Amino acid sequence: MSTPPRWTDRQLALLAALGVRDWWPLPPTAPEAEPQPKPEPQSEAVAAPAEAVRPPPPPAPALPQAEPAPLALTLDAEGLNAAIRACRACGLCEGRRQAVPGVGALPAPWMVVGEAPGEQEDAQGEPFVGPAGQLLDAMLAAMGLDRRATEPAKQVYIANAVKCRPPRNRAPEADELAACRPYLWRQIELVNPRLVLVFGKVAAQTLLGTDEALGKLRGRVHRLPDGRPAVVTYHPAYLLRQPQDKLKAWEDLCLALDTAEALP
Ligand code: URA
């Protein structure tokens, strides 16, 4: 009979934040659904799933070679936010209440990239303030991160792949992602994070230039075109609908923490 794994305090904090219950031995893994982060669920509750826990992921594989960074903008933070707020580069500007540039410290050791503002973000002008944002904040807190932290080590900048809310929270289209990409690359430059956490397929698509399924992208360390490490995981809105995948998200966050710790 095998014995339960021994979790570190950090791993236990992440498990608790994700609502994952410790369990041993392992059950069969549930079949993987294709993640679709939008629309956000109505419920504010972050349900606690009763799924089991697997041991931490294996060490990160060797990183692939970086491509040259696709940069265009040289604006400072203030100029960039002003440009985003005034942007009319795609049709999303027609339906927005306001553009949502990002929140957090600049620079910051961590950066989160999500998909697009939803209704509450469009109203408040800040990313991830709805139900998915509550789960995101809990995940970040378990990692020791806080969007409003003043202590440099805890700082994280949060942005989206597109800065304006798509109608009825539909997924952003390719031309909308392309129009917003220079803003995102400039944000990454200004934040200068040690590692980027990529939440959901749309953010992965725009940052990594791939159409691969999220299940194939998670669980390993990628390189952004500027050489920065990035870890892809499930979007919090998807996790609210599919809590059985919180365990895999927890593994991805552990991978991100381990990768950041190992950086020079
Ligand atoms: N989902 C996102 O991807 N971003 C937000 O800001 C809110 C919900």
Distance of CA 162 from the midpoint of ligand 1 (Å): 9
Q: Which long-range contacts (CB under 8 A, 24 or more apart) does 176-182 make?
A: 176/90, 176/91, 176/92, 177/202, 177/205, 177/206, 179/87, 179/89, 179/90, 180/87, 180/89, 180/90, 180/206, 181/70, 181/206, 182/70, 182/71, 182/72, 182/73
pLDDT in tens, the chain (264 residues): 444 445 576 666 666 766 665 433 333 344 445 455 555 533 333 333 333 454 555 554 444 333 334 446 899 999 999 999 999 999 999 999 999 999 999 999 999 999 999 999 999 999 999 999 999 999 999 999 999 999 999 999 999 999 999 999 999 999 999 999 999 999 999 999 999 999 999 999 999 999 999 999 999 999 999 999 999 999 999 999 999 999 999 999 999 999 999 999
d(CA 10, CA 257): 10
Rounded to whole angstroms, the Cα distance separating 181 from 163 reads 10
pTM of the predicted model, to two decimals?
0.80
Domain residue extents for the chain: 67-262
Ligand 1 center from residue 117 Cα (angstroms): 5
CATH of 67-262, picked from 3.40.470.10, 3.90.120.10, 1.10.1200.10, 3.60.10.10, is 3.40.470.10
Amino acid 226: pLDDT = 94
Ligand 1: residue whose CA is nearest its atom 7: 128
pLDDT the model gives residue 16: 72
Atom index in ligand 1 nearest the CA of residue 114 equals 3
Ligand 1 atom at minimal distance to the Cα of residue 120: 7
Atom of ligand 1 nearest to the CA of 203: 3
Nearest ligand 1 atom to the CA of 161 is 3
pLDDT score at 15: 64
pLDDT of residue 31: 43
Q: Given ligand 1 and candidates 111, 115, 119, 234, which is best to mutate, with the most ligand atoms within 8 Å of its CB? A: 115
Reading the block at residue 125, the tokens are 């002008």
> At 79, phi and psi to the nearest 5?
-65, -35
Residue 246: φ, ψ to 5°: -60, -30
> Over the range 116-147, which residues count as b (16 or more CB within 10 Å of their CB) and which as e?
bbbebbbeeebbbbbbbbbbbbbbbebbebbb
Q: Is 207 in the pocket of ligand 1 (CB under 6 A)?
A: no
State the pLDDT at residue 73.
85
